[in-house]
């Protein structure tokens, strides 16, 4: 894990590193030389290379022209080496609007960089030789730095302001901060999370959790806006309270939300992980059934009436049917959790529809104009997705290419599904929603579910995420997640299971699980959401909207 490097070229540019080639720069005094002249150019190019390696970089499908520094902040003093800098960088593309990213960085000596490299091999960004210290340092990402997290937390708790070249970074607090910080805070111990998620978070003393956004756009982040409403006006016990935020206010544009401080909620993991565990038990159970048994066989349903087929009847009609005995026996207790999750989702939408947050939250009716706009937006996204598939088809395996061709040949049929949005006026309301609801956005406490992450789909700009929509868009996200997790769990099963049951039969059992879990969730949701009067009373209209959102979610 040592940092072996050597100069390539007369000026030391290009350094061979333990985890790849890092840009190299000779600085006279440290940090300050990286933010002007040639140092700024080398730093920008180093961050550009670093960004393109990260899972959270959203520009992989676009042609990146350059990355430039927008602004930077010193979070923990003005030392030449030990300080942490919060960089705001802009990614410019050959087409479309630029993106902005938050990249915290720190400068480490070889011993500290070695230790970081052991657990985070891709943390290095560039090498810097500081002439007046006769030493070489590595600029690394600082999301594992105590100083970075403490600096952001202090910005909120003390309402600190940092002035930089082109804007101000400031911390704000909500009414909930004082309630959650009922005792003197001091320096709370903290633990950094993140895993596979796009954003990074740290828990402070099991009282707060601070989330740092990677990609930021102008406008108040919906996670802060909606979270504040559900903290101060419509509090819900299954939504964490918002305690504050860190915002960047550029001199020339709207503010950007950099991070949000929430109430910490003890949990045993997210609902996706819990559901995967439940599905493992489900597949073990159906594996014990006779090998010839399938979910729709006579042996499975015995003498009870054949349940409706969701492919021919639709999910809304299915929600009126009773769950068959075989589903109750094989799926078991998870059906109760699906029912609870449907109720919590309905309660969330009813609270958001009360409209107590001013014009930004007041429900609005569907209009013919909105329906046409929705239709055009969904068709446009579908065409864009399929065009991208055509352009990248050659990179797929032969089997995947064959399936891609099947889908592409059905493009006219797929697009025709959206035309039902234009068949008559839909009597419904649009409200503020979660925006990206799925099992990964739900925490499981062991007794209840907690809904988190109200920022919406991070691929979309904040202005678009703040647009009101039918809450069925959230419902479609959950239904899609049930389908997705069932097949993810199936792929994770052992080869022995597939040998005992034909692959097609196991896929039938996966579809059977997702069908009846979705049915239970939807039935509970519709009953809970009814008092909000934002859903179509007509079942056909309800089916039309839900089907359109499901297709949009699958394409997204």
pTM to 2 decimal places: 0.87
pLDDT band for 31, please (50, 70, 90 cuts): confident
Q: Mean pLDDT check: name the lowest of 83-97, 173-187, 212-226, 258-272.
A: 173-187
**Using one digit for the tens of pLDDT, what is the confidence trace for 118-167?**
888 888 999 999 887 778 899 999 998 888 998 999 999 999 999 988 99
Q: Are strands 442-444 and 449-451 parallel, antiparallel or unpaired?
A: antiparallel
291: alpha, beta or left, given left = phi > 0 and alpha = psi -120 to 50?
A: alpha
Residues 108, 137 contacting (CB under 8 angstroms): yes
Q: Which residues contact 327 (CB under 8 A, 6 or more apart)?
A: 335, 512, 516
372/422 Cα distance (integer angstroms): 7
Number of H helices, E strands in the chain: 19, 20
Please list the residues that pair with 431 across neighbouring strands: 469
Please list the residues that pair with 460 across neighbouring strands: none
Q: What is the pLDDT of residue 194?
A: 59
pLDDT for 336 beyond 50: yes
pLDDT for 55 beyond 50: yes
14/192 Cα distance (integer angstroms): 32
- The half-sphere exposure of 14 on its side-chain side, counting CA atoms within 13 A, is 3
3-state secondary structure (DSSP) of residue 373: helix
pLDDT for 3 beyond 50: no
Q: Are strands 24-27 and 124-130 parallel, antiparallel or unpaired?
A: parallel
Residues 390, 408 contacting (CB under 8 angstroms): yes
**Using one digit for the tens of pLDDT, what is the confidence trace for 493-512?**
755 455 455 556 788 899 99
81/74 Cα distance (integer angstroms): 11
Q: For residue 284, which of 504, 508, 446, 506 has the smallest C-alpha distance?
A: 506
3-state secondary structure (DSSP) of residue 114: helix
pLDDT for 298 beyond 70: no
**Using one digit for the tens of pLDDT, what is the confidence trace for 62-110?**
899 999 999 999 886 544 444 789 999 999 999 888 999 999 999 898 8
Pick the residue with more confidence: 275 or 254? 275
**Using one digit for the tens of pLDDT, what is the confidence trace for 419-442?**
999 999 999 999 999 999 999 999
pLDDT above 70 as % of the chain: 87
236/448 Cα distance (integer angstroms): 13
């Amino acid at each position: 894990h040592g940092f072996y490097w050597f100069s390539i070229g007369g000026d030391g540019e290009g350094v061979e590193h333990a985890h790849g080639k890092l840009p190299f720069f000779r600085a006279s005094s440290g940090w300050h030389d990286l933010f002007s002249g040639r140092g700024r150019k080398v730093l920008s190019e180093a961050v550009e290379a670093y960004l393109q390696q990260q899972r959270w970089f959203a520009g992989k499908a676009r042609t990146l022209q350059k990355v430039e520094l927008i602004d930077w902040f010193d979070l923990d003093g003005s030392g030449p080496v030990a300080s942490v800098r919060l960089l705001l960088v802009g990614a410019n593309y050959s087409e479309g609007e630029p993106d902005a990213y938050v990249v915290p960085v720190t400068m480490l000596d070889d011993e500290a960089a070695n230790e970081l490299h052991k657990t985070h091999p891709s943390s290095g960004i560039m090498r810097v030789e500081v002439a007046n210290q006769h030493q070489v340092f590595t600029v690394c990402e600082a999301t594992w730095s105590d100083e970075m997290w403490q600096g952001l937390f202090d910005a909120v708790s003390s309402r600190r302001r940092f002035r930089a070249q082109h804007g101000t970074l400031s911390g704000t607090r909500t009414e909930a901060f004082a309630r959650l910080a009922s005792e003197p805070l001091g320096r709370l111990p903290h633990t950094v999370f993140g895993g596979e998620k796009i954003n990074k978070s740290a828990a402070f003393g099991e009282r707060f959790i601070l989330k740092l956004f990677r990609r930021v756009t102008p406008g108040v982040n919906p996670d802060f806006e909606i979270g504040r409403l559900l903290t101060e006006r419509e509090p819900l016990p299954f939504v964490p309270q918002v305690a504050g935020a860190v915002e960047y206010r550029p001199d020339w544009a709207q503010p950007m939300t950099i991070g949000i401080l929430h109430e910490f909620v003890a949990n045993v993991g997210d609902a996706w992980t819990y559901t995967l565990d439940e599905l493992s038990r489900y597949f073990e159970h159906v594996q014990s059934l006779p090998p010839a048994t399938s979910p729709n066989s006579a042996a499975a349903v015995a003498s009870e009436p054949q349940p409706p087929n969701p492919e021919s009847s639709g999910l809304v009609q299915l929600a009126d049917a009773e769950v068959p005995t075989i589903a109750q026996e094989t799926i078991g207790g998870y059906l109760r959790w699906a029912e609870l999750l449907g109720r919590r989702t309905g309660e969330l939408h009813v609270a958001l529809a009360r409209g107590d947050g001013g014009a930004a939250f007041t429900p609005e009716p569907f209009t013919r104009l909105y329906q046409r706009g929705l239709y055009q937006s969904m068709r446009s996204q579908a065409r864009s997705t399929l065009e991208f598939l055509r352009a990248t088809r050659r990179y797929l395996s032969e089997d995947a290419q064959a399936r891609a061709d099947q889908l592409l040949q059905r493009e006219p049929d797929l697009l025709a599904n959206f035309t039902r949005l234009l068949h008559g006026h839909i009597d419904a309301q649009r409200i503020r929603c979660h925006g990206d609801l799925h099992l990964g956005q739900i925490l499981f406490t062991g007794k209840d579910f907690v809904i988190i992450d109200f920022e919406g789909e991070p691929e979309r700009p904040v202005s678009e995420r703040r647009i009101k929509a039918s809450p069925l868009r959230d419902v479609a996200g959950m239904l899609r997640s049930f389908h997705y997790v069932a097949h993810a769990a199936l792929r994770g099963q052992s080869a022995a299971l597939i040998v005992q049951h034909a692959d097609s039969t196991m896929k039938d059992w996966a579809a059977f699980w997702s069908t009846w879990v979705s049915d239970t969730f939807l039935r509970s949701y519709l009953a809970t959401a009814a008092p909000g009067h934002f859903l179509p009373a007509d079942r056909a209209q309800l089916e039309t909207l839900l089907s359109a959102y499901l297709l949009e979610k699958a394409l997204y």
